[in-house]
Amino acid sequence: MIGWLSLGVALAGPTATTPVIETVEAGHVDWSAMVLQVTSRSDRTVGAWKDRRVQEQDALDRLGPMLIEAALRIRIRPDVRADDLTSSHTPFEAALAKNLSDGLSQWRVSETRYLSRGGVEMDGVIDIQSWLRPAMLSVAAGEPQTPNPKGPTGVLIDARLLAFRPCVAPEILLADGTAIYGAAHITPDTVQVHSPVVYVSDPVDPAASERAGSQPMFISAESSSRDCRIHLNTADSNRLRRNKALAGLLATAKVVVVVNP
């Protein structure tokens, strides 16, 4: 177990770091903030006139479908995208699909820009954590644990040197292939409050200490895959197996993953 000062950086106060961004069609996913943003543009004219009101409405009409299309491609778990949950074969699946569909109406316009050469750009955003909370609750099965005040305060995994592709709930695997963390390891109460992980580009990001605490276990990922799985080496796997506080940390999602921005 190491503390934040052991990382070679003294934490004097909040430090601005680069968010973890993934570019998607017409926008991006900010995995650090768990927000999807999509941008639409309109240069529509009516006759010989450029009417801002017409362009605003045109940009808005375009924005909704664009954002919904991008949202349905969000990776929830390594093998599951949001659009995988929109089809239903059982009453439970139908209810979940309806919740996700209804949740897409929570998107909002965050900014409208009037371009000097004409035209209107409009940004739409949706809070990924809030929207996909029903999907997380549908699989969350972690058991509450008795806190261990003498143990580590969280788990911080450094995957900056690997080709890791984020998702809402990544899997963490030990050297023997055993999955020790994923959506199913979190308690339902935790899912109501937190995202499964916090993604940062630098371990000194205040968001990392806020989630993993001041004395996290620092783990270097040995390998990863672009399907959102992180593999640990044998030494770190053994450290985690021996730590009695681990189950409680994982159940309450005290997990931070450091990745390239």
8-state DSSP, 149: T
- Contact, 137 vs 197, CB < 8 A? no
pLDDT of residue 8: 35
Residue 84 forms part of a structural domain: yes
Q: What is the mean pLDDT of residues 175-202?
A: 96
Average pLDDT over residues 194-213: 96
Q: Are residues 93 and 147 in the same domain?
A: no
Question: Is residue 39, in this structure, part of any structural domain at all?
Answer: yes
Which of 137, 155, 173 represents a domain boundary (last residue)? 137
Q: Spell out the residues 6+ positions from residue 48 whose beta carbon is closer than 8 angstroms to its own.
A: none
Query: Both 124 and 187 in a single domain?
Result: no
Look at residue 55 and tell me if it is in a domain: yes
The reply to whether 28 falls in a domain is: no
Q: 144 and 127 share a domain?
A: no
Question: Residue 15: which pLDDT band, with cuts at 50, 70 and 90?
Answer: low
Asked if 216 and 254 sit in the same domain, the reply is: yes
DSSP 142: P
The residue assigned the tokens 């806020």 is: 210
What pLDDT does residue 17 have? Answer: 84
Residues 129 and 225 in one domain: no
Buried b (16+ CB within 10 A) or exposed e, 195-232: bbbbbbbbbbbebbbebbbebbbbbbbbebeeebbbbb
Residue 78 within any structural domain of the chain = yes
- To which residue do tokens 């895959």 refer? 225
- Which tens digit of pLDDT belongs to each residue from 67-110? 999 999 999 999 999 999 987 778 888 999 999 999 999 999 99
Q: Are 95 and 50 in contact (CB under 8 A)?
A: no
Residues 159 and 75 in one domain: no
127 plus 205 within the same structural domain: no
Structural domain count, the chain = 2
- 147 lies in some domain: yes
**Which of 137, 164, 197 finishes a domain?**
137
User: What pTM did the predictor assign?
Assistant: 0.88
Strand ranges inside the chain, DSSP E: 21-24, 27-30, 35-42, 75-77, 80-81, 108-114, 120-127, 155-158, 171-173, 179-181, 198-200, 217-220, 223-225, 229-231, 255-258
Strands 80-81 and 108-114: unpaired
Give the per-residue pLDDT at 132: 96
Does 54 lie in the same domain as 119?
yes
Residue 107 and residue 131 in one domain? yes
Q: Is residue 26 one of the residues assigned to a domain? A: no
Q: Which of 107, 137, 167 is the last residue of a domain?
A: 137
Looking at the fold, whether 48 and 131 belong to one and the same domain comes out as yes
Q: Looking at the domain assignment, is residue 22 inside a domain?
A: no
CA atoms within 13 A on the CB side of 176: 6
Q: Is the pLDDT of residue 9 over 50?
A: no
Same domain? 149 vs 117: no
Give yes or no: residues 156 and 248 share one domain: yes
Burial 130-165 (b: 16+ CB within 10 A, else e): ebbbbbbebbbebeebeeeeeebbbbbbbbbebebb
- Which domain does 232 fall in, by range? 4-17+140-258
- From CA 162, how far away is CA 33, in angstroms rounded? 21
